[in-house]
Amino acid sequence: MTQRASFAGAILFLAVLRCWLGAADGFEARHQPHDELRYAEMADSLIRGAEGAWLGPYDELTLIREPGFPLWVALVHAIGLPLKVAADFLHAGASIAFALSLRRVGVSRRLSLLVLAGILFQPPSFYWNAHLAAEALYAPVLLLAMGALMSAAATGLRPAMVALAFGAGLAAAVLWILRPERELLFLTLLVFLVLDAACAWRDRKSSSHSVARVVALALPMALPIAALDSLVQRANFRDYGVSVMSEITDSTFQKAYRTLIRVRPDRPRRYYSMPSESRRKVYSVSPAFRTLEPHLEGAVGARWREMRPSDRLEPDIPDGWFHWALREAAAAAGHHRSAPVAASFYRRMRREVEAALESGALPARSLTLGPLNPDFGLWITHVPWSVVRVGRMLLGLSPLVEDDRKDVPESTRALVDLVTRRGEAGRQASPIRRALQLKVRRLFPILCAASLLVAALHLLARLASRRRAAGLVGRVVVPVLLTVILGRLVLFGIIDASSFTAQGARYMYPVVGLSWAAFALGGSGFFSILFRFDARRDRSSRPEVRSEADHR
């Protein structure tokens, strides 16, 4: 049997084994009105073809989430597959595509299989594929995007490279309408273009060639993103009267929220940018905000005060949930009769509060980092620990899939049954499958930690020897992977330190597989230095200049 056939057989075996193990889990329904339940309601509207509005009748929750994941759920439902089965298939397919992309940039078959196995069997994938969470789609699509970028970097300036760039753009466009951290996606694409241009300059010493590559890569990537963004905003304008991807991230709501937290409280507190004392001050100067007082200080506010982090002070509405409380209070006051009415209310409230801040009627403070707590000194010292706490999730720590909780309403169960077809998937929770899952769950964090340690040693060895990174793996692949991983880690570490205790397991899941790949590639580099064995096999940065021996 040839090496290529053995490699293909190993890939097939790993993929089938992963799907077989995933069949041991059911699909868990959770009653989370702003998260999983909202996705289920959006998907239900798409499946049923609700008249007049594609995402359902308008209220304060209708446009709080990007529509990418509900569109995926509706597509899978139309095909006739259970969502859990489709999620496992997509995860396996994206993992294989990423591993094959590693081969294109010169990674050895053995190392590619090691990376593939780690991504396939990462414990969080079992858990999130069994939930209505956007991360279940974000993670495999991110793998597809990274794989397409790597393949494009390994391809010369010809139509194949443009096609790969367009594929990367399609994947990036899906990510664009899945979750709100679009700045991280933009940063990743920008870093990739810069690194690819640097490699092109190093190979050809031609600025025109570098510029041509940047243009040939950037345009095919930008077009799908712009097109899909425009389609979503047009659909929302058609049905709801506002051109937004999400009302939460739209500038109208964000400007109103940032204006409110500019009010300086008497006692600044970490996690509380808009405490009760600041709200009382704003009630006295803003007629628009005053209409929310019976609700923010009443039943609505009382419910959200239960979400408080523990700081040994009186309970209040923390930053991580204040925007939900604000919208719920506005809806209770009658300001969410329609999306244009809501936008008009938030603009009016912002103008009134801004006028009071400018006149000195309200004590003002400067914003530091967008919607984060403006009292920078309260939380900045906590960032390192928060980064470590959130970063532990990169080791693949994850809970097990459980049955529905008893407090989940029957209506929520029925809705999840409908949109996910979870009753059709069946659950084959044999003792063997469950035992293997438990073994993987225990072993994976240990392997990740060991790989991270070896990768760190590799970095130190390179610094000590002053060796430059060689080939696409060292000059493009690993730096781009680190951009994705560290960007997400720092972002949610800052959110954890400043706004609310972030759910690290959920928010870091999309990059757990990429982290394993980076750890494995870095670790292999360390051993190549020790034993003078290059696992990447290529001696040049682009495949088109490799020798025939390199392709055997």
Q: Which residues of the chain have pLDDT under 50?
A: 527, 529-552
Q: Tell me whether residue 375 is in a domain.
A: no
User: How far from chain centre, in Å, is Cα 9?
Assistant: 32
Exposed, middle or buried: residue 297 (CB in 10 Å: 0-12, 13-18, 19+)?
middle
Q: Tell me whether residue 377 is in a domain.
A: no
pLDDT digits (tens, 9 = 90+) for 31-50: 999 999 999 999 999 999 86
In single-letter form, the type of residue at position 354 comes to: E
pLDDT value for 407 = 85
Give residue 81's region: left, alpha or beta (phi > 0; psi -120 to 50).
beta
CA atoms of 206 and 422, how far apart (whole Å): 56
Q: Which two tokens stand for residue 172?
A: 């990036």
Nearest to 233 by CA among 73, 66, 46: 66
Q: How far is CA 131 from CA 37, 91, 247, 419, in A?
A: 10, 14, 24, 12
Q: Helix, strand or coil for residue 272? A: strand
Q: Tell me whether residue 476 is in a domain.
A: yes
User: Phi then psi for 263, rounded to 5 degrees?
Assistant: -70, 125
* CB-CB contact of 300 with 312 (8 Å): no
* CB-CB contact of 359 with 317 (8 Å): no
User: Where is 83: in which H helix or E strand?
Assistant: helix 83-104
pLDDT value for 427 = 57
The dihedral sign for the CA sequence 97, 529, 463, 194 = negative
pLDDT value for 62 = 96
pLDDT value for 539 = 41
Place of tokens 């329609």: 338
How many CA atoms within 13 Å lie on the side-chain side of 299? Answer: 3
Residues 436 and 535 placed together within one structural domain of the fold: yes
Residues 334 and 401 placed together within one structural domain of the fold: no
Neighbouring C-beta atoms of residue 187, cutoff 10 Å: 14
Q: Tell me whether residue 371 is in a domain.
A: no
Q: Which two tokens stand for residue 89?
A: 């298939």
pLDDT value for 313 = 61
* CB-CB contact of 386 with 494 (8 Å): yes
Residues 303 and 445 placed together within one structural domain of the fold: no
pLDDT digits (tens, 9 = 90+) for 382-421: 999 999 989 888 888 777 777 778 889 999 999 999 999 9
* CB-CB contact of 346 with 256 (8 Å): yes
Residues 357 and 418 placed together within one structural domain of the fold: no
CA atoms of 307 and 500, how far apart (whole Å): 10
* CB-CB contact of 393 with 504 (8 Å): yes
Q: Tell me whether residue 125 is in a domain.
A: yes
Q: Which two tokens stand for residue 273?
A: 């940018």
Residues 477 and 417 placed together within one structural domain of the fold: yes
Q: Whole domain around residue 451: which residue ranges?
A: 3-242+390-551
Count how many residues are written for the chain. Answer: 552
Residues 266 and 193 placed together within one structural domain of the fold: no
Residues 484 and 534 placed together within one structural domain of the fold: yes
CA atoms of 248 and 146, how far apart (whole Å): 28
User: Phi then psi for 222, rounded to 5 degrees?
Assistant: -75, -35
Residues 71 and 184 placed together within one structural domain of the fold: yes
Residues 274 and 187 placed together within one structural domain of the fold: no
Q: Tell me whether residue 384 is in a domain.
A: no
* Nearest-10 Cα torsion for 484, 490, 492, 496: 170
Place of tokens 């494995």: 520
Residues 19 and 140 placed together within one structural domain of the fold: yes
Radius of gyration in angstroms for the set of CA atoms belonging to the chain, rounded to a whole number:
25
Nearest to 123 by CA among 452, 442, 450, 432: 442
Q: Which two tokens stand for residue 281?
A: 């001050």
Domain count across the chain: 2
Q: Tell me whether residue 254 is in a domain.
A: no
Place of tokens 């080939």: 471
Q: Which two tokens stand for residue 21?
A: 């193990």
Residues 318 and 355 placed together within one structural domain of the fold: yes
* CB-CB contact of 295 with 333 (8 Å): yes
Residues 102 and 236 placed together within one structural domain of the fold: yes
Q: Tell me whether residue 379 is in a domain.
A: no
CA atoms of 96 and 89, how far apart (whole Å): 11
In single-letter form, the type of residue at position 38 comes to: R
User: How far from chain centre, in Å, is Cα 508?
Assistant: 7
CA atoms of 96 and 150, how far apart (whole Å): 14
